[in-house]
Structure 1
Amino acid sequence: MFIGRDKELDALDRLYKSDKFEFVVIYGRRRVGKTALINHFIDDKKAIYFMGVESNEKQNLENFSKSIIEFSSGIQAETSFSSYQAALEYVFKLAEKERVILTIDEYPYVARASKSLASTLQMLIDKYKDNSKLMLILCGSSMSYMEDQVLAYKAPLYGRRTAQMRIMPFDFAECCTYLNGLSDEDKAYIYGIVGGTPQYLLQMSDKLSVGDNIKNTYLNPMSFLYEEPLNLLKQEVREPAIYNAIITAIATGYSRMSEISTKVGESTTVCSGYLKNLIDLGIVKKETPYGEKSSKKSIYSIEDNMFYFWYRFIPDNASVIARGAVDLVYKRIEAQLNDYMGKVFEEICTQYLWKLLIEGKTPIEFASLGRWWGNDPRKKQQTEIDIMGEQDSDSAIFAECKWRNEKVDLDVLETLVDRSGLFHYTKVQYFLFSKTGFTKGCMEKAREMGNVTLVRYEDIVSLKR
């Protein structure tokens, strides 16, 4: 079942219908659905699809040749072009009078094995682009290679592309479409457990409970997800052991650079380089308090929910899982699940606020959203705000998110209002988000204030339908 990616498909369709030479670069992390997107797009079109393999130049050229010959003649043949230049020139000539799509998937594998391929492509694009109907798609999972060797200013292909797409994991709304057989509450849990990466969502069954899904995947040594973070790191980076140690440190509460460095046993300079790569991969994110730029206050957290869940619960329980005590481990996880979901719920609420903004339903048209934390000089203690966003120096929103089984009471609203007093905005809108609703006292106070929006989790899900 293919879901989502409407914006990407619309963009690809517009490029396809231009009927002139187009060069699209598509990249993103492994498992995120790049190949599925391309195959869905080219399904009813004249297209040559070739996937590179991690091999030598000869094998990749032979496979590329077979894809071209099968497209042009309809038969499989063992003959091969003498070079990539000959093969590509043949494709350009095929596309002189009709629209043809050429996709080279896993381009980094091909280009690494053939050092001159990028320069050959550059030369042929410059030669044929003005009289060609070719739509060229280069796709890759190696984020660093695609950014440094294809998109970067010094890369041979720089300036030739007509579009680029970084394919990101699904947001919560798109995940709900896939998980439509689950209850609304379980949709949030599954999103919190695996995030929006399509290949991970496919491991979840909407016919099973959240608990059984966890047992069948993370707690099953034979499952795809059981060692997925470690396998992914081995594919993406050198020295995966250090990356693993850094992610483990962050997952267990060491969020500042100095703390991570001490825990891992490496200098902050060394850790900084590794953290940058993890950020580029979409596994870790770096945050500073909203509206501030001081790197001294920066903290690191795990952005990908699958990594977040795995590192939070699996390594500490690995020995017990290996002995088959699945129910025991799940009992430990279940006791912490609501606490774990707090961060996930903040993410879901942030996505909801962005959707309200896009639909023109927010009284404050904020330009960005983020968390804030810092010192409250009035009380001489540290404090934080789950979400805040500024429209200008006079207008802002403040939000608090509570994923818990009891209704949110008046004290939560009063605390949020109090913390907003650390700033000096004249126009303020408050949002309270609750898993289970609000007490009568909280609702009465919100009506009295007039600038408070109370949002139940069920309201979020209903907006996404």
Structure 2
Amino acid sequence: MFLNREAELTSLQQRFDDNNAEFIIVYGRRRVGKSELIDQFIIKNTGVRILAREETKGLQLKEFSSELTAFFGDTHLSSVVFPDWDAIFSYIRSYKNKRVIIACDEFPYLVNEDPSLLSVIQYHWDTWLKDSHLFLIVCGSSISMMEEMTMRYESPLFGRRTGQYLIKPLRFTDILEHFPDFNTAVKHYAVFGGTPAYIFKAEKDKDIYENIISRILSEDSILFRDTEFILMSEVSEPRYYFSILRSIAEGNTTPSKISQMTGLERSTVSKYLQVLMNLQLIIREIPAGEPLKSKKGQYFLSDNYFAFWFRYVYPYVKSIEMGNGRSLCVEEVKPTLQAYIGRKFEGCIEDLLWKFNASGLLPFRFHSCSRWWMKEHEIDLIAFSDTDVLFCEVKWQEKVNAEKVYANLLVKSNVFLSYHPEFRDKHYLVIAKTFTQESGIASDKVHIWNTTSLEEMYRRCRP
């Protein structure tokens, strides 16, 4: 299945239609949908995606020779194996005036086998490719390697790329229509996250707990070990990274707390946190209204499935391997899953608010939206423009007393406003699955939305 990626496809298509030479870098971690994006792009145009394999240079050249000559219809060359990468590009040069896409998938496999390929591409780009009509794509699953090979100053390819696309997991608003109803979408997105290969493993008409048991807490499931494989392919000291990620998943979100739990030196933790951020595995959040260099930052796993895996799978790997997945779900997952989903629900709401913001469905257009905290006070989301501010409280609960939540939100918002008096208009939003009563406080400044309201507003955003 293929969901969304509308922005990436539109951008790629615009580049293709411009008819200029292109050298595009597509990268992102495994299973995030890079290859499918390229295939969808090729389907609408003309091109070929060649998947590199981790094998000898001779076999790689044989595969590329066969794929390229077949694509260009040169049947008389079907048995020819070009001797080196220079010969491959010299062959491609004979088609330099054609508007076709040539995509090399898992590009790092080729460079690992023959590092000189980077210089070969540099030479051909500088001498003729940049003046051709060809659309060249290189794609890879190791974020660190792709950046090192194609974007850093030391690389022969530095300055040659015409564009790059870091493919990230899908957002909640991208997968919402994949599920039969809003609440089911929230639960599954909170657990399986936005990686297409993960979210599509969940059977959307099944109970969330059954999906967790069969798709995650089973030794034969691809999801059981995939997080581990991804990390080990990206980092050189996985045991330290695993410890740090587990610590964050369990609620230790500052370097000092992570250091205390893991026993690692504070300086070591800081170094590894930076690597994990570069790999798009964690994010650093600062309270709303704080400067970017604020020392109040906290660290969170950026992907819901990674957060679930480190919270509920990694500590119990041996038990799952012994076939205890179902009992583990009953004893460890069920008692705390609703609280876990509640935290992820805040992220779903943030996605929706940005969607509503773009469609003009909110009282004003904001340019920032994030969580805020100060000592014992915390507000789930604060969205603001230069003059307006929206305070939002999010509850993943049924029969919520809206008046009580609003009263508490009002107290906390006043603390925020005492430090940020620049906002002229104040708005308030309380969100829950359902409410006991909601009409008494609703006004043009106070908004009460249940999940039905959210779903209806989302429909208004769709074309």
So what's the TM-score if we normalise by structure 2?
Answer: 0.92
Letter of the 1:446 counterpart: A
The reply to whether residue 297 of structure 1 matches residue 296 of structure 2 is yes
Instruction: Return 169-178 or 312-321, whichever deviates more.
Output: 312-321
Distance 1:83 1:348, change over 3 A: same
Identify the residue that residue 207 of structure 1 maps to in structure 2.
205
Indicate conservation of the 8 Å contact 1:3/1:177, yes or no. no
The whole-number CA distance in structure 2 between the counterparts of 1:299 and 1:390 is 21
Amino acid in structure 2 at the alignment position of 1:116? S
Aligned to 2:182: 184
Code of the aligned partner of 1:176: L
Matched residue type, 2:402 = D
Q: Is the 8 A contact 1:408 1:434 kept in 2?
A: no
Alignment length (residue pairs):
451
1: CA distance, partners of 2:334 / 2:432: 20
Alpha-carbon contact 2:217-2:326 (below 8 Å) kept? no
Q: Among residues 392, 411, 419, which one is paired with 1:418 in the alignment?
A: 411
Which residue, 246, 259, 262 being the options, matches 2:260?
Answer: 262
| Aligned counterparts of 1:281 and 1:38: Cα–Cα separation in 2 | 22
What is the identity percentage for the equivalent residue pairs of Structure 1 and Structure 2? 31
The yes-or-no answer on 1:228 pairing with 2:222 is no
Query: Quick check: 1:452 aligned with 2:453?
Result: no
Alpha-carbon distance change, 114 to 319 in structure 1, aligned in 2, over 3 angstroms: closer
Matched, 1:385 2:379: yes
Q: 1:429 aligns with which of 411, 420, 427?
A: 427
Change (3 A) 1:345 1:408: farther
In structure 2, the residue corresponding to 1:254 is in which secondary structure? coil
Q: What code does the residue aligned with 1:322 have? A: E
Aligned position for 1:88: 89
The question of whether the paired residues in 1 share the 8 Å contact of 2:31 and 2:196 is answered with yes
AA aligned opposite 1:327: R
Query: Is 1:357 the equivalent of 2:370?
Result: no
Q: How far off its partner does 1:142 sit?
A: 1.1
Unaligned runs of 5+ in 1: 376-381
TM-superposed CA distance for 1:317, in Å, is: 3.6
Q: Structure 2: which 5+ runs fail to align?
A: none
> Where do 1:93-172 residues align within 5 Å?
93-96=94-97, 98-129=98-129, 131-172=131-172
Q: Provide the C-alpha distance between the structure 1 equivalents of 2:46 and 2:442, rounded to a whole number of angstroms.
A: 58
Whether 1:308 and 2:307 are equivalent positions in the alignment is yes
CA distance in structure 2 between the partners assigned to 1:65 and 1:269 by the alignment = 49
CA distance in 1, matches of 2:108, 2:318: 38
* Residue 439 of structure 2: aligned partner: 443
Q: Return the offset for 1:367.
A: 1.3
2:320 equivalent to 1:321: yes
Q: Could you tell me which residue of structure 1 aligns to residue 18 of structure 2?
A: 18
Task: Work out whether residues 399 and 432 of structure 1, in 8 Å CA contact, stay in contact via their aligned partners in 2.
Answer: yes
Equivalent of 2:455 in 437, 457, 461: 461
CA distance, structure 2, for counterparts of residue 112 and residue 143 of structure 1:
15
- How far apart are residue 340 of structure 1 and its match? 0.6
For the 8 Å contact 1:364–1:429, the answer to whether it is kept is no
Give the conservation status (yes or no) of the 8 Å contact 1:92–1:134: no
Please report how far the alpha carbon of residue 197 of structure 1 lies from its aligned counterpart in structure 2 after TM superposition: 0.4
Residue aligned with 1:296, SS: coil
Counterpart residue type for residue 133 of structure 1: H
**In 2, Cα distance between equivalents of 1:365 and 1:148:** 38
For 1:462, give the aligned amino acid: E
Q: Deviations over 1:225-268 (max 9, x none)?
A: 11221121112211111111111111112211011122222222
TM-aligned CA deviation for residue 356 of structure 1 = 1.3
Asked whether the 8 Å contact 1:410–1:439 carries over to 2, the reply is no
The alpha carbon displacement at 1:10 in A equals 1.4
Match for 2:399 among 399, 402, 406? 406
Task: State which drifts further: 185-194 or 46-55.
Answer: 46-55
Q: Which amino acid aligns with 2:451?
A: Y
User: How far 1:124 moved relative to its partner?
Assistant: 1.2
Match of 1:272 in 2: 270
Whether the aligned pair in 1 keeps the contact of 2:46 and 2:100 (CA below 8 Å) is yes
Equivalent residues of 2:219, 2:323 under 8 A apart? no
RMSD (Å), alpha carbons: 1.9
Does the aligned pair in 2 maintain the 1:33–1:198 contact within 8 Å? yes
**Structure 2 CA distance for partners of 1:62 and 1:453, relative to 1, 3 Å:** same
Deviation at 1:78, TM superposition (A): 4.2
Closer/same/farther in 2, CA of residues 289 and 128 from structure 1, 3 Å limit: same
Structure 1 CA distance for aligned equivalents of residues 452 and 319 of structure 2 = 37
CA contact (8 A) 2:96 2:132 kept: yes
C-alpha distance in 2, partners of 1:137/1:460?
Answer: 39
Whether contact under 8 Å (2:29, 2:230) holds in the other structure is no
SS of residue in 2 equivalent to 1:446:
coil
Contact preservation (8 Å) 2:281, 2:302? yes
Segments of 4+ moved more than 4 angstroms = none
Q: What letter is aligned with 2:273?
A: L
**Is residue 397–residue 428 contact of structure 1 (8 Å, CA) maintained in 2?**
yes
Rounded Cα–Cα distance in structure 2 between residues aligned with 1:253 and 1:161: 40
SS at the partner of 2:314? helix
Question: 1:20-45 CA deviation, whole Å, 9 max, x = no partner?
Answer: 21121111111100001111211254
Which whole-Å CA distance do the structure 2 matches of 1:295 and 1:261 have between them? Answer: 20
Work out the CA distance in 2 between the residues paired with 1:20 and 1:455: 48
Matching residue's letter, 1:234: M
Cα distance per residue 1:116-162 (max 9 Å; x no partner)? 22222122112224541100011111111222321234432233222
Deviation at 1:295, TM superposition (A): 4.5
Counterpart CA distance in 2 for 1:153 and 1:363 is 46
Instruction: State the distance in 2 between where 1:343 and 1:2 align.
Output: 27
- Contact kept in structure 1, 2:402 and 2:448, CA below 8 Å: no
C-alpha separation between the residues in 1 aligned to 2:73 and 2:135?
20
Distance of 1:101 and 1:42 partners within structure 2: 7
Q: Secondary structure at the match of 1:443?
A: coil
Compute the TM-score of the two structures, normalised by the length of structure 1. 0.92
